[in-house]
Amino acid sequence: MTKEEPVVAGIDLGSTYTKAAVLARDRVVGTGITPTIVDLDAAAADALGEALQAAGMSRSDLDMTVSTGYGRRGVDIADHQVDEIYAKARAAKWLGSPWGPVRTVIDIGGQDSKVIRLDEAGDMDTFLMNTKCAAGTGRFLEQMAKVLGVPLEELGEIGEGAEHPVELSSTCIVMAESEVISLIAQRRPVKDIVAGIHRSVAERVGNMVKQIGVEEVVFFDGGPARNVGVKKALEEFRGAELYVPKNPQVSAAIGAAIVARDILREGKLPDGKPLEGIEAENPIDHWEGPPAGGGGQ
Amino acid sequence: MPKLFGRKRPNIRDAAAAEVPDTRPSAPRYRWKGGEDEERLDELSRIIVGRAKELIDHYQEQMRKAPSRPEAMAWFDERARFLSSPRIGEIEEHKANGGKVIGTMCVFAPLELIRAADAIPVRLCSGLHNTIATGEELMADAGLCPMVKSTLGVKMTHASPFFEASDAVIVPMVCDGKFKLGEVLQDFMEVWMVNVPHIKDTQQARSMWLDEVRALQQQIETLTGNRIYWEELKREIQLSLRAQTVARRLYDLRKADPPVINGRDSLLVNQTPHTEDLSVWVEHATVLAQELEQRVRDGIAVSDPEAPRIMLAGAPIMWPNFKIPQLIEESGGSIVADELCSGTRWLYDPIGIDEWIWDDMFQAMAERYLQPSVCPCFTPNDPRIGRIKQMIEDFRVEGVVYHVLRGCHIYNGESTRVKQSAEDRGVPMLIIETEYSQEDTEQLRTRVEAFLMLVRARRKKAAKAKRRAFKTIDGSEGGDGA
Ligand code: SF4
Ligand code: SF4
């Protein structure tokens, strides 16, 4: 256990962006974002470098670094790894909301979407993740924006004030694409099409929320959280107001940093193993050694 | 039915062939064009076998990493080596001596009858991924369960020596996939379809099932040329009982805390009888059981003693496709129980014989395949849920991982109810929907790791609650929770 608050970092290696956050004195003192490239170590170093620079610190100031995201197992600069569902849950508890403690986390990511429910103490109680398909993910929005020829960032505003939102019958990205194209050919207003797209995403995610049961406060996270259209559609669909954190993109990185802090505070890894002696290894696999080739081939 | 005691069996081929009607189908009606390109098939088969070897190497290497793996696993490892398993030579020899091999699928073929006619039963349900593309040439349904397509592909490419050795295959009509599979397979080999009633505990179902098994007996006798008599049936039922007894012992040993055997090893042990000589399996399983019992006495854990205790439920997981169990155990979980039809399900409810007379024996043997079975092809299937609940209790399960093969609607359809009943006991359940390919491994890893975190968090919470309760009763500090 350290007496002073440690300086910790979290790195989230997502499919499109690598994000980093540095925490000191229980505050986020710097963040960094960079596109994920094939060389994961370089991407991690870049994002972390940016975050450290913003904090006015250097790597030697860091007491511990934890990585998360799909690429978490591929980087050397992290001391430990944690899955991003757990990282998100930790971040949501720590970041909280102005409306009270967070009980439900809705996270729409680039490749997947997840819903996490927290218990009264703010610990992860249960979670649900979409199946292996791009429906209801950021990817879906991205692709639809491309088909419509509008910038992704503007998608949210474009859909506002739609009077007759279209109904997309397909959730599959490929099918929805041709559906949208035929809607354009029918000269349906872009506004209505966009609103329909938002609705489709909201329905997909909303159904997951329904399965888990929504409890307020609902924390809405991930890139598409910045899209007002999706947010509104989801609010309509679920009947609950969503709280969007200030910087939804880096919350997993913040969560990973919190996990690093937890580890130092408790002297234990997230899976309950003591910290000493096994530091160099993957905490998850410490009894088997790191699996060769990452399990899949 | 004649009951001959200790008489030397006459060969019905020469003697009374006319007594047994030949029910085999005639020549194939449809031809698969691809089957005529032998060069391509050879190439495909080479690739498939090579890949199977890679997978076997990979998973066996991972399984050997357990800090203290039971020594008795060596025999099972050797037998699980597919093409280089000594079993293939044994089967070839059996065939050279005029013996027959009968393929089976699922858990409904009356193995005692097959063995009693001196034939070798082999379970052909396949776990290979790269035969699916070939299977799709004849069953192009993208939403069809991968096990069905993979099994078909194995036959089409002649990749498995067990399949090739089979003179006939018994296909139960359990789900859409299996029964159309049987139809397509008929163009490649002799197929015996078996009508499995979906409502099983009525009088009609019972008598229909008995008739089905009787028909199978005839087919087996016709194929092998061997009549099945009282003596042989009794011998084989007794062998099955011995096997179930030792399998039960192994099953009970998994209740040990800390675990003395890994879930993957256990699954492999339960799958070895799919192709092995059951009496030899009994010997080796007994050695394993003895070793594990010693471990329980010495308190030797096979891996991390604190690992979350996970139960694997749902659709079959077939060697060498151990993606899911490998993922769970390499992420730090310990699979202490399974209810898979490719795992412990075959040993539920041993054959109960009151009197060793033919009718009783035959009926008990046949019913054993139907009544205790909790495959989701039956309705209502509350016994399955009851069984899972019981296992959660018996094995001190802390989390259930429910495996759904994409396209297996009957398993998927039961998942919500299973989840609810697990949650009712405070045990979380993770549903994993996947196929045979490895490409989703990393996505699944995220879910599995998060799920294990959740299980650990619940354990901590439960310990805290216990401490608190202890404190209020006792006024003292209470013990330390796990
Ligand atoms: S669960 Fe399905 S695949 Fe397994 S034995 Fe039963 S019917 Fe067959
Ligand atoms: S896994 Fe399901 S769909 Fe596939 S064969 Fe077995 S019961 Fe049928």
Least confident of B20-29, B92-101, B361-370: B20-29
B72 DSSP 8-state letter: T
pLDDT value at B301 more than 70:
yes
Could you tell me if A240 and A105 lie in one domain? yes
Domains and CATH numbers, chain B: 229-470 (3.40.50.11900)
Could you tell me if A128 and A223 lie in one domain? yes
Rounded to two decimals, the pTM is 0.84
Residue after which a domain boundary falls, among A200, A223, A244: A244
Could you tell me if A88 and A25 lie in one domain? yes
Tens digits of residue pLDDT in B103-152: 999 999 999 999 999 999 999 999 999 999 999 999 988 889 999 999 99
Tens digits of residue pLDDT in B454-475: 999 889 888 888 888 776 665 5
Instruction: Tell me the chain B residues in contact with residue A293 when contact means C-beta distances shorter than 8 Å.
Output: 58
Band of the pLDDT at B29, cuts 50, 70, 90?
low
Determine contact: A126 vs chain B, CB below 8 A: yes
Q: How far is the alpha carbon of A10 from chain B, nearest alpha carbon, in Å? A: 17
Per the CB < 8 A criterion, the answer to whether B346 and B107 are in contact is yes
The closest residue, in CA terms, to atom 1 on ligand 1 is B375
Ligand 2 is surrounded, with C-beta below 6 A, by B 145, 147-148, 174-175, 177-178, 315-316, 405, 408, 410-411
Beta-carbon separation of B332 and A284 below 8 A: yes
Distance CA B188, CA B171 (A): 14
Could you tell me if A161 and A39 lie in one domain? no
Runs of H (alpha helix) within B127-262: 132-135, 146-157, 161-165, 176-185, 203-224, 230-253
3 state SS for B253-321:
HCCCCCCCCCHHHHHHHHHHHHCCCHHHHHHHHHHHHHHHHHHHHHCCCCCCCCCCEEEEEECCCCCCC
Tens digits of residue pLDDT in B423-454: 999 999 999 999 999 888 888 998 999 999 99
> B431: nearest CA in chain A?
A128
Per the CB < 8 A criterion, the answer to whether A20 and A44 are in contact is yes
Residue A54 burial class via C-beta count within 10 angstroms: exposed 0-12, middle 13-18, buried 19 and up: middle
Could you tell me if A224 and A269 lie in one domain? no
Q: How far is the alpha carbon of B47 from chain A, nearest alpha carbon, in Å? A: 15
Determine contact: B440 vs chain A, CB below 8 A: yes
Residue A68 maps to which CATH number? 3.30.420.40
Mean pLDDT, residues B13-32: 53
Mean pLDDT, residues A192-201: 81
Q: Which residues contact B468 (CB under 8 A, 6 or more apart)?
A: B478
Per the CB < 8 A criterion, the answer to whether B455 and B461 are in contact is no
The closest residue, in CA terms, to atom 5 on ligand 1 is B106
Distance CA A49, CA A43 (A): 10
> A133: nearest CA in chain B?
B440
Mean pLDDT, residues A3-31: 85
Per the CB < 8 A criterion, the answer to whether B70 and B291 are in contact is yes
**Nearest atom, ligand 1, residue B341 CA:** 4
Could you tell me if A135 and A264 lie in one domain? no
Beta-carbon separation of B303 and A123 below 8 A: no
Could you tell me if A31 and A114 lie in one domain? no
What integer pLDDT is reported at residue B232 of this predicted model? 94
Cα(B232) to centroid of ligand 1, in Å? Answer: 28
Selected residue of B51, B330, B401, B412 to mutate for chain A interface (largest A Cβ count, 10 A): B330
pLDDT value at B6 more than 60:
no
- SS3 call for B379: coil
Could you tell me if A108 and A86 lie in one domain? no
Could you tell me if A113 and A184 lie in one domain? yes
Q: Among candidates B112, B100, B120, B103, which has minimal Cα distance to B170? A: B103
- How far is CA A98 from its chain centroid? 20
Per the CB < 8 A criterion, the answer to whether B402 and B429 are in contact is yes
Band of the pLDDT at A6, cuts 50, 70, 90?
confident
Residue after which a domain boundary falls, among A244, A270, A289: A244
Angle value at C-alpha A39, between A38 and A40, nearest 5 degrees: 95
Beta-carbon separation of A287 and B332 below 8 A: yes
For residue B379 the two structure tokens come to 């309705």
Determine contact: B433 vs chain A, CB below 8 A: yes
What integer pLDDT is reported at residue B10 of this predicted model? 46
Mean pLDDT, residues A276-289: 41
pLDDT value at B18 more than 60:
no
Q: Which residues contact B290 (CB under 8 A, 6 or more apart)?
A: none
pLDDT value at A291 more than 60:
no
The pairing of strands A124-129 and A27-35 is unpaired
- The overall average pLDDT reported for chain B is 89
pLDDT value at A290 more than 50:
no
- SS3 call for A164: coil
Tens digits of residue pLDDT in A234-264: 787 777 788 888 887 888 999 999 999 988 8
Distance CA B60, CA B3 (A): 47
Cβ contacts below 8 Å, chain A against chain B, sum to 96
Band of the pLDDT at A269, cuts 50, 70, 90?
confident
Residue B353 burial class via C-beta count within 10 angstroms: exposed 0-12, middle 13-18, buried 19 and up: middle
Distance CA B349, CA B185 (A): 32
Torsion angle of C-alpha atoms A12, A13, A18, A21, degrees rounded to 10? 20
Q: How far is the alpha carbon of B356 from chain A, nearest alpha carbon, in Å? A: 50
For residue B25 the two structure tokens come to 């189908």
Domain hosting A260: range is 1-96+248-297
Determine contact: A178 vs chain B, CB below 8 A: no
Instruction: Tell me the chain A residues in contact with residue B461 when contact means C-beta distances shorter than 8 Å.
Output: 119, 121, 123
Could you tell me if A51 and A92 lie in one domain? yes
Per the CB < 8 A criterion, the answer to whether B250 and B338 are in contact is no
Q: Which residues contact A267 (CB under 8 A, 6 or more apart)?
A: A1, A274, A275
Could you tell me if A80 and A179 lie in one domain? no
Number of domains in chain A: 2
Residue B388 burial class via C-beta count within 10 angstroms: exposed 0-12, middle 13-18, buried 19 and up: buried
Predicted complex ipTM? 0.73
What integer pLDDT is reported at residue A56 of this predicted model? 85
A73 DSSP 8-state letter: G
Tens digits of residue pLDDT in A110-151: 778 889 999 888 888 889 887 667 777 777 777 777 777 777
Could you tell me if A140 and A6 lie in one domain? no
Mean pLDDT, residues B402-406: 95
Q: Among candidates A296, A264, A270, which has minimal Cα distance to A283? A: A270
Residue recorded with tokens 């872009």: A190
- A124, A129, A273 ranked by CB distance to B447: nearest: A129
What integer pLDDT is reported at residue B480 of this predicted model? 44
Instruction: Tell me the chain A residues in contact with residue B58 when contact means C-beta distances shorter than 8 Å.
Output: 292-293, 297
Distance CA B342, CA B392 (A): 19
Tens digits of residue pLDDT in B168-199: 999 999 999 998 999 999 989 999 999 999 99
Distance CA B457, CA A272 (A): 10
Residue after which a domain boundary falls, among A223, A244, A265: A244
Distance CA A198, CA A196 (A): 5
